[in-house]
Amino acid sequence: MISMKYQGFTFEKLKIASFDFTCCEGCQLQLANRESSLLDFLELLDIRNFRELSTEKNNDYDIALIEGSLSREDEVERLQAIRRQAKTLIAFGTCACFGGVNSLKNKFPLQESVAEVYPGMQIDTMPVRKISDVVKVDLSIPGCPVNKEEVERIMVHLATGSLITLPNYPVCFECKAQLNTCMFELGEICLGPITRGGCNAVCTSGKTPCLGCRGPSEEINMPAFIELVTERKLSPDDLQEKMAFYNAFEEFCDHEA
């Protein structure tokens, strides 16, 4: 057991491993950024396997961070082996939680897509699935990429045995707190009213409509949101496209649109 002191208390370090599947590895890179808190953050962790942070590779981990969705059968087998080892498995980022941008592949016939991108080649591929489609997920941390401050807070809570919660308010709450002009006032469809907060409204603060990478807010009011889009005479097709982008609103999408 490796122990550490944090704010005057002694805790057992978290034996953690991180694994990437079909993804860009941007969520893992988030944890290696923000140098101002990196050393303190690493003090919480006994890193057993984490390619972005260490060359060591060990299989005696308790917590597994899973980034990416599943697009090959060998990924399914690998994930199941990780699940058997991990006491706590965390879906880490939008691709792991919802399927992410990779899920756009599922809109097209599989073999036609392969032939278009890899003409004349045999490619091991399958429809994209999120992590919870295959194994039990103990905790989900959404975001594209994840919010490092949120991840650090969750890791502290895991180390201390504290209650772990995600914001239950929508992105609009954070957007208004920053006195941003509403994207609807600028003639854009923005998913901020129906998306879980916690990103500090980073996209809308840059005048980019929210695409819902953190998934539905807990008290989502989809009928009222549809009414808002209709009242503004904005495109229903544009709305469907935005909600389908990360696959985070699959249950609300019109699959015949």
**Tens-digit pLDDT profile for the chain (257 aa)?**
565 555 566 678 899 999 999 999 999 988 888 677 777 778 888 999 998 888 889 999 999 999 999 999 999 999 999 999 999 999 999 999 999 999 999 998 888 888 888 888 888 899 999 999 999 999 999 999 999 889 988 988 888 888 899 999 999 999 999 999 999 999 999 999 999 999 999 999 999 999 999 999 998 999 999 999 999 999 999 999 999 999 999 988 875 44
Q: Do you find a cis peptide bond into 109, omega within 30 degrees of 0?
A: no
Residue-level pLDDT at 257: 41
Residue-level pLDDT at 9: 61
Which position has the token pair 């600028």? 186
Task: Report which of 158, 151, 155, 106 is spatially closest to residue 130, judged by C-alpha positions.
Answer: 106
Gap between the Cα atoms of 85 and 17, Å rounded? 11
Q: How big is the chain by its Cα radius of gyration, in Å? A: 20
Sheet holding 45-49, edge to edge: 45-49, 14-20, 63-67, 88-92, 139-141
Torsion of CA 185, 188, 191, 194, to 10 degrees: 40
Helix or strand holding residue 20 (H, E) = strand 14-20
* Residue 20 backbone dihedrals phi, psi, to 5 degrees: -110, 140
Residue type, 95: C
Please, are residues 10 and 64 in contact by the beta-carbon 8 Å criterion? no
Residue-level pLDDT at 150: 92
Domains and CATH numbers, the chain: 3-160 (3.40.50.700), 171-252 (no CATH)
Contacts of 56 (CB under 8 A, 6+ apart): 47, 48, 49
- Supply the pTM of this predicted model: 0.90
Residue-level pLDDT at 8: 60
